[in-house]
Structure 1
Amino acid sequence: MANFEHGVTTRQADTSVTTPVAADSGVAFVVGAAPAHTVGGAVNEPIMCQNYGEAVAALGYSDDWANYTVCEAIYSQFKLYGVAPVVFVNVLDPAKHKKSVAEQNYPINDGKVLLPLEALKDTVKVSTYTVGTDFDLFYEGENLILEVLEGGKIPENTGELTVTFDAVDPSKITENDIIGGFDTSTKKYSGLELIDKVFPKYGIVADLILAPGWSDKSTVAAVMAAKAANINGVFEGKALIDADAETVKHYADVPAWKKANNINSKTQIVCWPLVKLGDRVFHLSTQAAGRMGATDSDNGGCPAESPSNKSLQIDSAVLADGTVILLDLQQANYLNSNGIVTALNLIGGYVLWGNETACFPADTDVKNYFICISRMFGWVANTLVLSYWSKVDKKMTRRLIDSIVDSVNIWLNGLTNEEKLLGGRVEFKEEENSTTALMAGKAVFHIYMTPPSPAKELEFVLEYDAEYVSAALAA
């Protein structure tokens, strides 16, 4: 029988207007080599870190950035720009990228032997002595330390030890390791392919793809562009590419390099040259990622403002051989006019200089070639996916459609009030929603939006006005 009710009852209905879930912005996804063997870290696993300490604990650290490119990003993202989170992938595999080091004698100083950081602790052998009894091993700084233990068999007057070991060899990493893929035998993903595992694992959208030291390879740059255009099949991002600062030594040759390497996508941002802070040399893409993340953070986690003309943490721009590059405004603008971002020291120190993605000047659609507008379109798209995924497979009713239209319009109005958009609206247009499409469960919502363009050129017209002479000198 039906429920018998007597008195007052209540129930709650779902709110008709959905609160949007803003997508992450300026989150870097960095692929490269890290000394993870020193901390028992993972290989080909996306590791999210919120600060410098977490990154070092999970991936190890070395100042040898030529071999350990991930460490460059760790230092830049956390120490220079203070942006988080960052997702790292270490591709240096001790089981694959290794070499055997011939037996040789190493001196003992203060009861310690300094072995290279590349040495694999578990492979170290010292003539007839035993680890844990006669000596111990631990990583510290840029070395694997062999410490002589008191009470062991190693005599106190021994001046050196004969040691042999295997070592990781970052030079054996190839472009294919960075690109990665899917191994049918192990059923595991690797390299850049792991960007699709970030959201399922951590629930964040990593929208800036980096591979410092490798992105100047055309094959790597192409895969980075493809992944940025289709993250998890639904999200968008940007691939930060470095032009080769070793072979391209003059600013006027960078556009030819860009063309020869087929780097012309709206999902790519090309950077040249390298940059330097003190003795540390950075790929400009690494610092550009930090600058973008910091600028987004200053704008409430939204990429509405261009990172151009914002301070970089550098004191010079250089080539791979250390040659200092001093660009004047005309030279920097020439690079910008060819879709290349650079570093400029004109007023107030070094800044990132350039508003154009790699598709410029071939593609002059403003939503594609302006970095901040292109990123805003991607960010709005990512936010819509996150916010309205829960509506998928609901009953296709007028109430559902109206609730989506109303909530999106409220959100766009809020972005407009915050000056992150000049205006925006969503419409459910009859001509885009045929009866057959609606019967098949497909609804199309048309969003009109205008992110603000960067104030790229400010012109002041100066004119001599003779009337001020007579006015000033009149009796």
Structure 2
Amino acid sequence: MKMSDYRHGAYADQQASRDYTSPSAAGTVPVYIGRAPVHQLADYSGTQNVPIRITSWLDAMCKIGYSENWNNYDLCEAVYAHFRNSVNSVGPIIVINAMNPDNHKNEEQKTATVSFTRKTAVIRNPDVILKTITIANKVFGTDYSAEYSDDGLSVILTDLTGSMESAEVSYYEADPSAVTETDVVAAINAGVPLVYYHLSIVPTILCSPGWSTRANVLAALTGMLDRINGHWYAWLNADLDASPGQTSESVSAKISAAIAAKKALESITGAGAILWPMAQKSGRLFHASTLNTVTMQWVDSQNGNIPDETPSNKQIDIDGMCFSDGTAVQFDQTAANLLNAAGIDTMTYWEGEWRMWGPHTMKYVYGTEMDARDVFDVNVRMMRYIENNFQRQYGADVDKPMTRGRKDAILNDFQAWMDGLIQDGALLTGTILFEESENPQSDLVEGNFVFSTEFTNPIPGKSLTNQVRWSASGLSSLFGGVADA
């Protein structure tokens, strides 16, 4: 550090808080789809319907902007939840923005008269398209500059020449309300398949806070989970509508309504979770799907980037649960378990902490017959982890001569990898075979070779019960005798 003045003694200099930066070797990388305030950028070309990797808060501000108005710019909720929470900041994340300020804007040009104080003026409008700002007879970059405040709610103008006391500023406004379900579905269909090709990252979790409550968007998300690019398998965190409903309704009635809404869903998958209601922290409202995604990524990172542990019962950074309008809602673990039994994940308060609560897939309904694989989130996520890993690990072997040695090498190598997972506790058992019954000659002559893998992962200890009984036998100890066992 260069000293600006002579020092002799002990000193302390205040520095800006260090921004959380994502590790370079993150295995679980969630993909969020929604609206970002890209109108804050001087150049927002190429920011619609493409995957953008975000590694920190500052990185987000540079690449997609940031606004505290999460109702209009829902991707900012994900940025804050990952990089500004006080429990488990974690990244990186990928965002796919559905908004294009060239199309989603108000057609009428707006004007505002501003006054400069110490060469600075403020436009208190969160929707100003930065690159459309003009001041008559002034040149941007020479006479003035413009940038958004850190909260994204105001534009700060700087007089670079010191000659302006006031000015009439013209600009256009972005209109995030013009973004429709169709736009978001288009972003899903166009952007998710580009994640691997643009970033060399396999998309492992999809989340669209504020949009996944809508049937068309949920259908697009669930339809994207299997064989992305013909190969990759992903997980979905989605929300049920958390509107407050009638104020006269009891909490139990609202829970019953949520369960009924889940039963009515047309797009149900074993490769995803459905969550309800929302949560709040210091006035900010979070979708439960976002919180579950953050927690999944953090838990995976603590386990060597292996998705062998559920996010359920892990601490989250909230003050309480709420509905979409911010109205607080409280219910205990007994009520939360009613939601879990219906395949709805939620949140609960336990021992001084708020926690995610629910280890099931959205396909789960207690007491019904179903594929045992789809009972717990970790079952499905581990299966997809193994499927994705095999494809990435042996994609380079495609079109090489399939000799007995190569076949054995694949068997031995993949078995050794699974043995490592068993040793680490991520699997209980795991075997890979090359079976004659699965490889008829008609397939082999076409160059199609099938390996068969079977595994068992540890199951979450969903309930731990101690059967306790009282006994009168100990009363004999009052008379010096030995109590019966």
Q: Which amino acid aligns with 1:96?
A: N
Per the alignment, residue 39 of structure 2 pairs with: 37
Contact 1:32 1:178 in 2 (8 A): yes
In 1, Cα distance between equivalents of 2:160 and 2:62: 26
Alpha-carbon contact 1:25-1:303 (below 8 Å) kept: no
| Residue identity in the other structure for 1:430 | E
Match of 1:337 in 2: 341
1:69 has 2:74 as partner = yes
1:227 matched to 2:224? The reply is: yes
Q: Structure 1's 262 and 363: CA in aligned 2 closer, same or farther, altered over 3 A?
A: farther
Pair 1:239-2:236 in alignment = yes
Task: Establish whether residue 147 from structure 1 lines up as the match of residue 158 from structure 2.
Answer: yes
| Residue pair 2:222, 2:268 contacting (<8 A) in 1 also | no
Q: Does residue 453 of structure 2 align to residue 447 of structure 1?
A: yes
Distance 2:293 2:162 in 1: 52
Aligned equivalents of 2:213, 2:359: Cα separation in 1: 20
Aligned partners of 1:217, 1:37: CA distance in 2, in Å?
Answer: 25
Q: Which residue of 2 aligns with 1:183?
A: none
Task: Judge conservation of contact 2:244–2:327 (CA < 8 Å) in 1.
Answer: no
Partner amino acid for 1:393? D
Equivalent positions of 1:304-319 (< 5 A) are: 304-319=308-323
**Whole-angstrom CA distance in 1 between matches of 2:266 and 2:322:** 24
Q: Distance in 2 between matches of 1:213 and 1:191?
A: 14
Q: Give, as a single letter, the amino acid of the residue that structure 2 aligns with 1:53.
A: L
- Percent identity among equivalent residues? 30
Task: Kindly state the Cα deviation for residue 167 of structure 1 after the two structures are TM-superposed.
Answer: 1.2
**What does 1:407-418 align with in structure 2 at a 5 Å threshold?**
407-418=413-424
Q: 1:149 to 1:255 in 2, by over 3 A?
A: same
Cα deviation, residue 143, structure 1: 1.7
AA aligned opposite 2:280: K
How many residue pairs are counted as aligned between the two chains?
A: 439
User: 1:52 aligned to 2:57?
Assistant: yes
Structure with greater contact order relative to length (CA < 8 Å, sep ≥ 6): 1
Q: Give the match for residue 259 of structure 1.
A: 263
* Range that drifts further, 272-281 or 393-402: 393-402
Quote the residue 1:186 is aligned against: none
Letter in 2 for 1:348: G
Partner Cα distance (2:139, 2:411) in 1:
72
| CA shift for structure 1 position 109 | 4.5
Please say if residues 280 and 326 of structure 2, whose CA atoms lie closer than 8 Å, have aligned partners that are also in contact: no
Q: Which residue of 2 aligns with 1:19?
A: none
Instruction: Choose the corresponding residue for 2:464, options 449, 452, 458.
Output: 458
Classify 1:429/1:150 alpha carbon distance in 2 versus 1 (closer, same or farther; 3 Å): closer
Alignment of 1:373-392 (within 5 A): 373-392=379-398
Against the structure 1 CA distance between its residues 363 and 124, is the aligned structure 2 distance closer, same or farther, given a 3 Å change threshold?
Answer: farther
- Matching residue of 2:331: 327
Aligned equivalent of 2:132, options 123, 128, 142: 123
Deviation at 1:92, TM superposition (A): 1.5
Aligned with 2:84: secondary structure? helix
Task: State whether structure 2 residue 286 is matched by structure 1 residue 282.
Answer: yes
Q: Which amino acid aligns with 2:37?
A: P
Contact between 2:435 and 2:452, CA under 8 Å: does it hold in 1?
A: yes
Comparing 96-105 and 231-240, the one that deviates more = 96-105
Deviations 1:349-374 (A, max 9, x none): 11000011111126622212310111
Equivalent pair of 2:26/2:301 in contact (CA under 8 Å): no
Shift in alpha-carbon separation, 1:375–1:359, aligned structure 2, 3 A: same
Q: Which amino acid aligns with 1:457?
A: S
* Conserved 8 A contact 1:46-1:87: yes
CA displacement 1:245-291 (0-9 Å, x = unmatched): 11557111112112333242112211111111111111111111000
Q: Distance in 1 between matches of 2:308 and 2:459?
A: 9
Match in the other structure for 1:98 = 105
SS at match of 1:295: helix
Cα distance change on mapping 1:49 and 1:74 into 2, 3 Å? same
1:20 is aligned to none
Cα distance in 2, alignment partners of residues 254 and 340 from structure 1: 9
Shift of 1:128: 5.6
Cα distance change, pair 143–441 in 1 and its aligned pair in 2 (3 A) = same
1:367 to 368, 373, 379: 373
Residues 293-321 of structure 1 deviation map (CA, whole Å, 9 limit, x = unaligned): 01111111001011101101111100012
Please, what TM-score do these two structures have when normalized by structure 1? 0.87
Q: Which runs of 5+ in 1 are unaligned?
A: 1-22, 181-189
Contact 2:361–2:374 at 8 Å: present in 1 too? yes
Letter in 1 for 2:28: G
Unaligned 5+ runs, structure 2: 1-24, 247-253
Whether contact under 8 Å (2:242, 2:276) holds in the other structure is yes
- Any conservation in 2 of the 1:119–1:167 contact (CA below 8 Å)? yes
Whole-Å Cα distance in 2 between the matches of residues 428 and 130 of structure 1? 70
* Partner AA of 1:242 in structure 2: D
Residue 218 (structure 1) aligned to one of 215, 235, 240: 215
CA contact 1:100–1:165 (8 Å) conserved in 2: no
Shift of 1:329: 1.5
Aligned counterparts of 1:278 and 1:370: Cα–Cα separation in 2: 32
Q: Is the 8 A contact 2:128 2:174 kept in 1?
A: yes
Distance between the aligned counterparts of 1:107 and 1:396, measured in 2? 73
The answer on whether the counterparts of 1:229 and 1:237 sit within 8 Å (CA) in structure 2 is: yes
